[in-house]
């Protein structure tokens, strides 16, 4: 067993010895059962202190490569592998269970026990023949296909390779500049370097949590809250403390006590036509939240993807537009106002945060998708996006009013809701006499799907008598067909309640 030591280098002698013996064992140059030289003998052979050899052998024992027989010897303990032939693997009768991979032992526990009810309901609801009131996305008739065709053709006719090339990690500069112009119309003044383009809002939140949150940290959020939010917080090993809402949004009066007790890393709010309640946070509440953010130096993460979908009254300024201290991190998605499959959102925040975020994105992507960025850039640049918003709002308002009209029979049965001024959801409270499981099963049997309210309560303490209905995605025909079926299921579940 020959060991070569290079003295005077940067690698300690015992590390050189351990690595060489380890390599010889792993390469089978030293077989299983081989007796290694004694500490004294190897020390004399190499010209080192005996304690150095003792440290080498101790680490190899800890690695499971050798065994120490006290007062006798050190012996290699690295047996030959058990070979399983390809034929045995494909012969199910001879392939023993002990040779199987136990994936449950490999996958991280938090992903094995991951709450997937929301995802399953969302995916299953779009099965053929089903009427879905579950999702919250743009319907095909709102895509503006003629505009999409026109703009796509113009981009292709320019005979440029730009749409096929990688984009900067932060997103196209021209798109970020046009987003700044778009935001200025909302009272939000930012620069292109303070914008990060991303495929979707959930991803923006996930990156923020990765940047800001350590295991054991706390996040404050309104409740009810989207499962996409509380699952991301849980996966980061953080604690979510929820704050109740009323018809004005998050109740801010109790926040100082929670902040002083839990010292949260940030406060999360879905400020405009909240998912799932459809509530728009009032100007007074937004000012209260900002004042608290300034007093305690706590960032606020604001999701504001539905603010453009306004049917009545004046728009309420976003938290970001009111923020003079640059405390608000702003997330905006085009999923409700543009073709959702093209996937585009952005995040606006302070430059130091955006610099770190850009580095994180560079680790996750070689390049952000180019085509959606070029499309949205043109939509914003030539005014198509803002023009289309008017027709989208008109369409969604018609669908909201139609759904409310069709729910009149259910209201007479005991269902209740507050008609939202915008957004895409109705948050409906069921009569107390309804057996929810019965109602849910009967609705599915009739081919109608929705999202149960308890999905939005991470601690399972409320929501059993609420449902969320979406009116943006289903067609008018589906609303007129599906809501009566939902009402039938409601009546039947009340008759069967015990």
- What are the residue boundaries of the structural domains of the chain, listed by start? 13-76, 117-136+388-495, 145-384
Structural class in CATH, domain 145-384: alpha beta
pLDDT in tens, 11-55: 889 999 999 999 998 888 888 889 999 999 999 998 999 999 999
Annotation: CATH topology of 13-76: Arc Repressor Mutant, subunit A (1.10.10)
Distance in angstroms (rounded) separating the CA atoms of residues 67 and 86: 33
220 vs 148, more confident = 220
What is the rounded distance in angstroms from the CA atom of residue 412 to the CA atom of residue 407? 9
Render pLDDT for 317-349 as a digit per residue (tens, 0 to 9): 999 999 999 999 999 999 898 887 788 999 999
Q: What is the DSSP string of 330-344?
A: EEEE-TTTS-GGG--
Tell me which residue of 202, 224, 420 sits closest to 331, measured CA to CA: 202
Q: What are phi and psi of 495, to 5 degrees?
A: -65, -30
| Beta-carbon contacts of residue 354 (< 8 Å; ≥ 6 apart) | 170, 193, 194, 195, 196, 347
How long is the chain?
498
Hey, what CATH topology would domain 117-136+388-495 get? 3.90.1150
pLDDT at 94 over 60: no
pTM of the model: 0.79
Sheet containing strand 345-348, edge to edge, reads 195-198, 345-348, 328-333, 300-303, 266-270, 218-223, 239-246, 249-250
pLDDT at 91: 57
What is the model's pLDDT at position 105?
72
Cis peptide before 276 (omega within 30 of 0): yes
Side-by-side strand order, sheet with 35-36: 35-36, 73-76, 66-69
Q: Are 132 and 124 in contact (CB under 8 A)?
A: no
Q: Which candidate, 212, 332, 314, 335, places its Cα nearest to that of 267?
A: 212
Q: Write the pLDDT tens digit of every residue in 222-275.
A: 999 999 999 999 999 999 999 999 999 999 999 999 999 999 999 999 999 999
Confidence of residue 95 (pLDDT cuts 50, 70, 90): low
What is the four-CA torsion angle of 212, 217, 223, 225, rounded to 10 degrees? 50
Is the pLDDT higher at 69 or at 480?
480
For residues 21 and 37, give the distance between their C-alpha atoms in angstroms, rounded to a whole number.
11
- The whole-number pLDDT of residue 497 equals 42
């Amino acid at each position: 067993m020959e060991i070569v030591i290079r003295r005077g280098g940067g690698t300690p002698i015992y590390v050189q010895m351990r690595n060489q013996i380890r390599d010889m064992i792993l390469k089978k140059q030293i077989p299983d059962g081989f007796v290694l030289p004694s500490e004294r003998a190897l020390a004399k052979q190499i010209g080192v202190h005996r304690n150095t050899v003792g440290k080498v052998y101790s680490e190899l024992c800890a690695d499971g490569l050798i065994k120490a027989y006290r007062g006798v010897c050190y012996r290699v303990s690295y047996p030959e592998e058990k070979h399983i032939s390809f034929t045995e693997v494909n012969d199910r009768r001879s392939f023993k269970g002990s040779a199987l991979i136990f994936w449950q032992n490999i996958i991280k526990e938090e992903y094995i026990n991951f709450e997937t009810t929301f995802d399953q309901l969302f995916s299953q609801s779009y099965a053929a023949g089903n009427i879905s009131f579950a999702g919250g996305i743009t319907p095909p008739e709102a895509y503006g296909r003629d505009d999409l065709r026109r703009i796509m053709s113009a981009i292709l006719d320019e005979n440029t390779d730009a749409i096929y090339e990688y984009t900067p990690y932060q997103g196209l500069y021209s798109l970020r500049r046009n987003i700044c112009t778009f935001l200025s119309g909302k009272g939000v003044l930012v620069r292109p370097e303070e914008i990060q383009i991303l495929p979707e809002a959930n991803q923006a939140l996930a990156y923020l949590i990765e940047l800001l949150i350590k295991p054991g940290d706390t996040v404050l959020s309104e409740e009810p809250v989207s499962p996409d939010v509380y699952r991301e917080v849980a996966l980061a090993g953080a604690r979510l403390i929820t704050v109740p809402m009323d018809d004005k949004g998050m109740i801010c009066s109790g926040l100082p006590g929670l902040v002083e007790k839990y010292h949260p890393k940030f406060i999360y709010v879905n400020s405009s036509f909240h998912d799932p309640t459809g509530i728009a946070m009032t100007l007074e509440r937004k000012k209260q939240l900002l004042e608290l953010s300034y007093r305690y130096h706590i960032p606020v993460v604001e999701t504001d993807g539905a603010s453009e979908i306004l049917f009545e009254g004046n728009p309420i300024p976003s938290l970001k537009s009111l923020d003079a201290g640059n405390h608000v991190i702003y997330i905006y998605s085009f999923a409700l106002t543009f073709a959702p499959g093209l996937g585009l959102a952005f995040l606006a925040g302070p430059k130091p945060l955006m610099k770190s975020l850009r580095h994180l994105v560079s680790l996750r992507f070689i390049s952000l998708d180019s085509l959606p960025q070029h499309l949205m850039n043109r939509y914003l640049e030539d005014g198509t996006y803002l023009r289309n918003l008017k027709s989208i709002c008109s369409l969604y308002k018609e669908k909201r009013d139609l759904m409310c009209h069709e729910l009149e029979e259910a209201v007479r049965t005991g269902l209740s809701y507050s008609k939202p001024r915008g957004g895409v959801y109705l948050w409906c409270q069921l009569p107390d006499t309804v057996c929810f499981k019965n109602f849910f099963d009967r609705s599915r049997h009739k081919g109608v799907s929705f999202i149960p309210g308890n999905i939005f309560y991470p601690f399972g303490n409320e929501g059993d008598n609420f449902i969320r209905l979406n009116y943006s995605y289903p067609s008018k025909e589906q609303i007129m067909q599906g809501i009566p079926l939902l009402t039938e299921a409601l009546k039947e579940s009340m008759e069967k309640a015990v």
